[in-house]
Amino acid sequence: MASICYCCCCFFLQLLLVQLIGCIGGRIPLGSRLTANERQMWVSDNGTFGFGFTSTGSPDELQLSIWYFNLPGDPTIVWSAKRDSPVGMDAYVELETTGSLTLIDPSTATIVWASNTTGRGVRSAEMSDSGNFILYNSSNDSVWESFSHPSDTLLPGQPLTVNLELTSFANPRANRSDHNGSYSLKMLQQPSSLSLSLSYISPNTSLNYSYWSGPQISNATGDVVAVLDDSGSFGVSYGSSPSGTVYVHKNDCDVSGCTKKETGVILRRLVIGEDGNLRLYRWDVNGSRLDWETDWSAVSNPCSIAGVCGDGICSLENNKTNVSCTPLTGSSPPAENYCTHFEMEAMPQTKYYFSESLVIANYSNVSVGAECEQRCVEDCECVASVFGLDEEEETYCWKLRDALFGGLQDPSSTLFVKVSKSSKSGPTSGGRSVASKGGGAKSVVVVVPLVVCLSMVVALLGLLLWHSTGRLRWHRRVVSRRSLSVPGAPLNFSYRDLQIATLNFSQMLGTGGFGSVYKGSFADGTSVAVKKLERLLPHGEKEFVTEVATIGSMHHMNLVRLCGFCSEGSQRQENKHVLIVCLSA
């Protein structure tokens, strides 16, 4: 009886060992295979990382991945193969006898991905403790490794050389159908220097825009690599000297080591997110919090990341961390070209991202936004222009040949965009066809009286409309003359004058009751503060004129003098904005 029990135990133990082959650490021999529907995996010796199939989030769609095997919750993926081509439940990955690691999906009868190492002497593979999956030859040298083909994550000790880059997963707002990401982290090489750079990859073209860069490195010698070390410091190393490291982020360490001692096991990873930001995460295995914490991020203002709203405009919400996106314009671009059938749309307090390849011209002698707008109107190649003030308070005007990278709110800039004119229904008068005999003549007899009647009706309606608007304009002129006849009334400026004086309301000084205040100056050098009212006074136009005359006649040493106002009806009745110009003497 005892011998029977012993034999049964040995049999079941053998079955268990067979099941565990391929998922316990150690060297993986040629001919080994993992099948997706059997949930098999290869695990590192220390139990930290797993190699196998994980879910993409969609039903029955999987991807070949490396992930943190021993953490609770959804898998934290650090590498994936051909992530834009998910596979089905029947897929498998095999270390073939030819030496190639191959991912096959029988449902489509295709080789989805391969390491392309056939004939290079591969003898075994290993899921290493560092998170690197390595193919070895008979001399125990590395033939292929996942560290040399990164996805969106950099692990401690993983080198990012000048010919490698991290790429983010797709940003949903960027309207991309693939999963290859809209952002990248790589070495940006200049003629005499290089630096780490975050770039936005345009979904429609091959143009990139660099919106963040690390410290510049000049005259670097030896191998140049970006690396995240075990202590959580991230930087660029070059040469063999310990001083040959330029840190992007230093984890509270000095030459002798970290001054802030850490206990227990700390897991770390550097990730470029789908929002374009680069973040360093940590997981304290011995801590009470069972989640990843952010140690550092490269960009503090998410709206400063190009393309975060596609080609739209980004604005920060009240919490200063979340963003809201609005379309670039309310209209579509001109269908045929940018020479005719367009109109300009101004977007105050808006700045736009652009690379040098998109700039047609840069004018430093343009002093008003209207002139910058006109420069774009006169250029068929121009799609948009940006006018504003730089950090040195100097004006600039950029003409752009395309709008790809998105924009953000900026009080010192104004964006002008070409948009198509609204289509007008009805036939044009340019084309006539010769009427055929018989039926064509009858059509003319019927149509002509109808056209004449409709013309008379339209003319009558136009006459009535002209009469009513004429009376309205007469009434406004009477009110305006009355306001100017009051002794001590300030000057009445046109809205166009104030646009020129304030650079199209581009320099906001602050906000207060009834509206916002902008900085401006007139041609004679007089400095002014212009308040744009957001709503009328309670008793309307008459009350407004009386208040302006009263305030304008007041003089006191502790009061600034009201020197003028704008009372154009289109601004108050349609936009409900009234302009008052305040001047310190």
CATH number of the domain encompassing residue 567: 3.30.200.20
What is the enclosing helix (H) or strand (E) of 267? strand 266-272
pLDDT tens digits for range 537-584: 555 565 666 667 667 666 666 667 777 777 765 444 443 454 556 655
pLDDT at residue 453 in the model: 62
Distance between CA 144 and CA 128 in Å, rounded? 13
pLDDT at 440: 39
Pair 228, 217 in one domain: yes
Residue 457 maps to a domain: no
78 and 39 inside one domain: yes
Packed helices 540-552 and 439-485: angle between N→C axes, nearest 10 degrees: 30
Based on the fold, state whether residues 245 and 332 are members of the same structural domain: no
pLDDT at 94: 98
Question: Could you tell me if 80 and 93 are in contact, meaning their C-beta atoms sit under 8 angstroms apart?
Answer: no
Average pLDDT across the chain, whole number: 77
Per-residue pLDDT tens over the stretch 430-467: 332 223 333 333 333 344 556 666 777 777 777 777 66
- 271 CB burial (10 A radius; 0-12, 13-18, 19+): buried
Is the confidence at residue 1, as pLDDT, over 50? no
Looking at per-residue pLDDT, the higher value among 355 and 422 belongs to 355
Q: Rounded to 5 degrees, what angle do the CA atoms 538, 483, 485 make? A: 155
- Which among 196, 169, 177, 173 has a CA at the least distance from the CA of 185? 196
The burial of 146, by beta-carbon neighbours within 10 Å (0-12 exposed, 13-18 middle, 19 or more buried), is given as: buried
Tell me if residue 165 falls in helix, strand or coil: strand
- Report the distance separating Cα 566 and Cα 480, nearest Å: 10
Kindly tell me if the per-residue pLDDT of 274 is higher than 50. Answer: yes
Number of structural domains the chain divides into: 4
What is the tens place of the pLDDT at every residue in 38-93?
889 999 999 999 999 999 888 889 999 999 998 998 999 999 998 888 999 999 99
| Pair (180, 134) in one structural domain | no
191 located within any domain? yes
- Asked, for residue 172, whether it belongs to a domain, the answer is yes
Residue 220 · residue 240 · CB < 8 Å: no
Q: Strands of 77-81's sheet, edge to edge?
A: 41-43, 49-55, 62-68, 77-81
Residue 571's identity, in one-letter code, is Q
For residue 110, tell me if it sits in a domain. yes
Of the three residues 124, 149, 174, the one that is the final residue of a domain is 149
Domain region containing 100:
13-149
Going from the C-alpha of 230 to that of each of 251, 254, 295, 346, the distances in angstroms are 10, 14, 14, 51
- The answer to whether residues 125 and 22 belong to one domain is yes
Backbone angles phi, psi at 242, to 5 degrees: -60, -25
pLDDT of residue 483: 42
Q: Characterize 517-534 residue by residue with b for buried, 16 or more Cβ atoms within 10 angstroms of its Cβ, and e for exposed.
A: bbbbebeeeeebbbbbbe
Calpha distance 521→192 (Å, rounded):
44
Longest dimension (CA), the chain: 122
Percent of the chain with pLDDT over 70: 70
CB atoms near residue 189 (< 10 Å):
12
pLDDT of 335 > 80? The answer is no
Domain-embedded: residue 473: no
Strand (E) or helix (H) holding 64: strand 62-68
Confidence check: pLDDT of 375 > 50: yes
Do 159 and 137 share a structural domain? Answer: no
Specify the higher pLDDT residue, 336 or 405.
405
Question: CA torsion sign, 406 to 408 to 413 to 415?
Answer: positive
Instruction: Please indicate, yes or no, whether residues 367 and 290 belong to a single structural domain of this protein.
Output: no
Domain CATH number, residue 344 = 3.50.4
159 and 291 co-located in one domain: yes
Is 432 a domain residue? no
Is 499 inside any structural domain? yes
Tally of CA atoms within 13 A in the half-sphere of 508 that contains its CB: 15
Give CA–CA dist 305/211, Å, rounded. Answer: 6
Q: How many residues does the chain have?
A: 585
- The CATH number of whichever domain residue 23 belongs to comes to 2.90.10.10
Of the candidates 149, 170, 203, which is a domain's last residue? 149
Considering the domain architecture, whether residues 172 and 76 belong to the same structural domain is answered as no
Same domain, yes or no: 378 and 349: yes
> What is the reported pLDDT for 218?
81
Q: Assess whether 126 and 241 both reside in one domain.
A: no
Is residue 532 a known part of a binding site? Answer: yes
In this prediction, residues 252-276 reach a mean pLDDT of 74
Single out the residue of 217, 211, 172, 177 nearest to residue 195, CA to CA.
Answer: 217
Q: Do 293 and 164 share a domain, yes or no?
A: yes
What single letter denotes the amino acid at residue 447?
V
Tokens for 573, please give them: 């009745």
Which of 384, 403, 420 terminates a domain? The answer is: 420
- 373 inside domain: yes
